[in-house]
Amino acid sequence: MTNPLRIAPLKIGLAGLGTVGTGVIQLIEENRDLIARRAGRPIEISAVTARDRTKDRGVDLSAYRWVDDMGELATAGDVDVVVELVGGSDGPALTLARETLGNNRALVTANKAMIAHHGAELGALADSKNAPLKFEAAVAGGIPVIQGLRDGAAANRIERVYGILNGTCNFILSAMERDGRDFADVLADAQSKGYAEADPSFDIDGVDAAHKLSILASLSFGSKIDFAGVEVRGIRKILAADIAQAQALGYRIRLIGFAEIDGNNGNAQIFQRVHPCLVPLSHPLANVTGATNAVVAEGNYSGRLLFQGAGAGDRPTASAVVADLVDIARKETGPAFSVPTNELESLPRASAAHRIGQTYLRMLVADRAGVLAEIAAAMRDAGLSIESLIQREITDGSALISMVTHEGHEAAIDATLKTLSGSSCLLGEPMVMHILGE
Residues with a catalytic annotation lie at 212
The DSSP symbol for 139 reads: S
Q: What is the DSSP string of 278-310?
A: EEETTSGGGG--TTEEEEEEEETTTEEEEEEEE
The answer for 156, left when phi > 0, alpha when psi is -120 to 50, beta otherwise, is beta
Residue 220 to residue 268: CA distance in whole angstroms: 14
Residue 370 to residue 230: CA distance in whole angstroms: 39
β partners of residue 357: 408
**How many C-beta atoms surround the C-beta of residue 318 within 10 A?**
25
Q: What is the DSSP string of 54-76?
A: T---SS--TTSEE-SSGGGGGT-
Q: How far is CA 268 from the centre of its chain?
A: 23
Angle between helices 183-192 and 167-179 (to 10 degrees): 120
Q: How far is CA 374 from the centre of its chain?
A: 39
Q: Please provide residue 15's backbone torsions phi and psi, each rounded to the nearest 5 degrees.
A: -110, 115
